[in-house]
A and B are shown apart, each in its own frame.
Chain A
Amino acid sequence: MAAGSVTAEGEGGGSSRPPLPPARGGDAGASGPVRTGVRVRAASATARARRRAEGIRAVLFLVPAALFLLVFVYFPAAIAFGLAFFHFHLLGVHTTWAGLQNFRDALGYRVFWIAVRNTLLYAALMIPLTVSLAVLFAALLTQPGRYYGMLRTAVLLPYVTPAVATAIGWLWIFNPQYGLADSLLHSLGLPPLPWLQSTTWALPSVAIYTLWHGLGFDVIVASAALGAVPRQLQEAARVDGADRWRVLRSVTLPLISPTVFFLVIITTIGTLQSFSQIYALSGGQGGPAYATTTLLFLVYQTAFTYYHFSYGAAMALLLVVLILGLTLLQRWISRRWVFYQ
């Protein structure tokens, strides 16, 4: 690159941009190469100063978020990681080194495996239902018109309500004697279900509530993806003779597959971290007979009901491993079906 082509943007700025004006106060009488060299150095210094200033500004903008993450996420996570290797008591009284004992105890604990099973079962219920219903509702609601806008708002509404308060309301809906859920079954000629009182139906009941509460967010995300699908591709497919199902299967779904993958990932993580609705719907017990005890609930119970902080931290780390494993598995599988334009 010719020296004279260096611009204020730095050395990679390209030759199409105008050259820098002479530096103010510089050596105006200097001849050709010397003068150019001075201008280059001056330009480099200005560029460096600008980059530094931008860097400082960027750091200043990032500091609040970084501090938040540091104080409320990374620092507690590091503490929890450390705790898992001790028999920790508050204030450090009688705290002793435990090595891997907490992990061994957790892996040999019957209720831990019940919680793992419940967690995976809950995820198996929630992920396909959430993703498929989100895409379905989004397809139905992505229509022009005032009423569809109102419907989209209605679908989102439960998402903005507090989980515990609405879960308490759903306790009434699931009441086997006088609840709306059984009234609905009765009106359809179906037998009543014991819902939260049953070891079989308690976890699906929690899943129904969670779907009601959280689906709106997924619908909005899926709606945005559907709205971004190029119409000309769908029209071209129709011109080629594809029916609506074929257009959806062969054009629309592949084009929104990155968003579907995103929904799968966040639903998986959200599902594995579910707590408040389980706590509220099971009366804080995780029952009946551990039927709604998920891993996160067990972590809470172990740490904050029984005050076994280190044991709970070890379980939490095992949950992290589970989430990481599932996410990597989904990422690996996604290579076969996620289509990036």
Chain B
Amino acid sequence: MTDRTGTNRRPRGRFAAATLALGVALAGCGTGHSAAPSATPAQSSASTPAASPPSTPVQITYWAGHSSGALHKAVVAEVAQFNATHPTIHVTFDATGASVHGLAAFEAGKAPNVGMINHAVLGQLVSAHAILDLKTYIDGASGLSASQISADYYPAVWADMQTGAHQYLMPLEKKALTVIYYNESLFKQAGITAAPATWQQVAADAQKITALGSGDHGIAWTPSLRPFFDMVISDGGAVFTTQTNRQTFSLNNAGALAALNLLRGLVASGDMILTTGYGYQQDFGVGKIGILIDASAGYTYDNGSVGGKFVVGGASAPSGSSGHSSAMMNGESLAMFNTGTAAQQAASWTFIKYLSSPSTNTYWDQHTNYLPLGPAAYTLMKPYYAKNTAEAATYSTPSGWWFAPRSPNYAAAYTALTGILDQALNGKIQPQQALIEMDTQGTQYLSGKVRG
């Protein structure tokens, strides 16, 4: 998750309320978790050492780059709850990105014990022996059973944690990168009665909203490859040569051309306006934009910019001409840095299990609109989803979830392809030519032939 800039509002009252709410949520969630019926890791760990607590708790540090907004508040509340329920361990949270600063901190001998990291930096961290293989802990006495793993994590999520025979990561947060948020008031004015279920409906709805006039636009979007890739797949196309060979882009296909033509047409007609950064949130908040194509975790920010002026609706990734949808996912994971004493490493594992547990994940999802990591968390989320339809709509079937290749070269390829997408959307390059360029340049970067 990219760090968000912005004002950090953390009144003490809200912090206390959030901590209390998390306590209540965890207490409630713990009883409903059938796969781990006795307790969450936090509760079990809290009860065991409480019998003979040491004079001073084991001190560990946690770095995560959630520095603002709802995400920051949620992680602060989670850490506070952990500290309250684990008297033998004390976690100090620092809103520092472990992906960006973790390796340098490790080199300086100041690495955190636990860090929230992006998969793109995993290779560097492993090469430098900066993080530990968690297999020992997972398979150990206080680890996770096979049944617990299958209950707590969807197969796609658990598979994303594996690096060959090693596992350096534990699941923390996953978000869908293509969801639809919409302005229900504008939809009503335009006579649209339901959320769009297909990309063609998205385009048709955008036209109707733009036709309302007075500066209204159907869609505001900061061009991103992720929704484009989902559109390609839902239109029957492919992004990579095969799902097993993801070193070669293969976007020069009919599905990709249909997706790019649709987007280019929306821009050319003025039904879609292009923004930079998080500009689409500001535009949406003004009330003149009908639809946002955003990540599920953008909800708290999008809704925040609206400030209650209208109701925000939600929908999962629309389907394409193939009849199905695609849901590219991402999100950061937990790693244990190769630092500290044995006691600190054991405490770090306890903390990692706590953050990755269904009950903590449920609290996180409810406050940030990330998606459940597994069936257990989804079960816990059901009552919340029943009351919060916009958030519920952004959840999609996990069997369709997919992740970007975990290659150190992917970020450079992504930047290059985004540049080409920008040019195509602005009419500087024809869609067909853009796709050919994407394949050529993307593969050059991804294979390491050209360095970014």
Contacts and interface: CB of A to CB of B under 8 A. Distances in A.
B418 A307 contact: no
Given A171-B277, A177-B273, A283-B278, A199 B423 contact: yes
A72 interface: no
A172 B217 CA distance: 18
Interface string B1-41: 00001000000000000000000000000000000000000
Q: Which of A91, A172, A311 has the most CB of B within 10 A?
A: A91
Interface in A258-272: none
Contacts of A288: 223, 274, 276, 419, 422-423, 426
Nearest to B450: A109
Interface string A287-304: 111100000000001101
A294 B450 CA distance: 19
Contact of B104 (A90, A175, A308): A90
Nearest to A286: B415
A222 interface: no
A90 B125 CA distance: 9
Given A91-B128, A93-B128, A282-B276, A289 B452 contact: no
A293 to B, nearest CB: 9
Per DSSP, chain A at the interface is loop
A306 B277 contact: no
Contacts of A306: 408-409, 411-412, 451-452
Contacts of A290: 419
A176 interface: yes
A301 B445 CA distance: 14
Contact of A308 (B222, B422, B452): B452
A93 B128 CA distance: 6
A177 B451 contact: no
Interface string A189-218: 000001011110000000000000000000
Contact of A178 (B104, B130, B286): B286
A151 interface: no
A17 to B, nearest CB: 59
Interface string B272-306: 01111111001100101000000000000000000
A307 B302 CA distance: 32
A306 B451 CA distance: 9
Contacts of A31: none
Interface residues of B, number: 43
Contacts of A304: 100
Contacts of A168: 5
B276 A198 contact: no
B121 interface: yes
Contacts of B127: 89, 93-94
B422 A307 contact: no
A284 B128 CA distance: 27
Given A89-B127, A306-B411, A197 B419 contact: no
Contacts of B104: 90
Contacts of B274: 194, 197, 288
B283 A307 contact: no
Given A199-B426, A289-B419, A307 B452 contact: no
A289 B451 contact: no
Contacts of B103: 90-91
A285 B215 CA distance: 28
Contacts of A301: 415, 452
Q: Which of B130, B278, B411, B419 has the most CB of A within 10 A?
A: B419
Contacts of B273: 176-177, 197
A281 B408 CA distance: 26
A105 B419 CA distance: 20
A16 interface: no
11 contacts: A90-B107, A175-B282, A177-B288, A197-B273, A281-B276, A285-B276, A285-B277, A288-B276, A288-B422, A288-B423, A305-B411
B124 A307 contact: yes
Interface in A128-174: 168, 171-172
Top-4 shortest CB links A-B: A283-B277, A288-B422, A289-B422, A289-B419
Contacts of B151: none
A177 B215 contact: yes
Contact of A89 (B124, B419, B428): B124
B420 interface: yes
A90 B282 contact: no
Interface in A306-334: 306-308, 311
A302 B412 CA distance: 9
Contacts of B215: 177
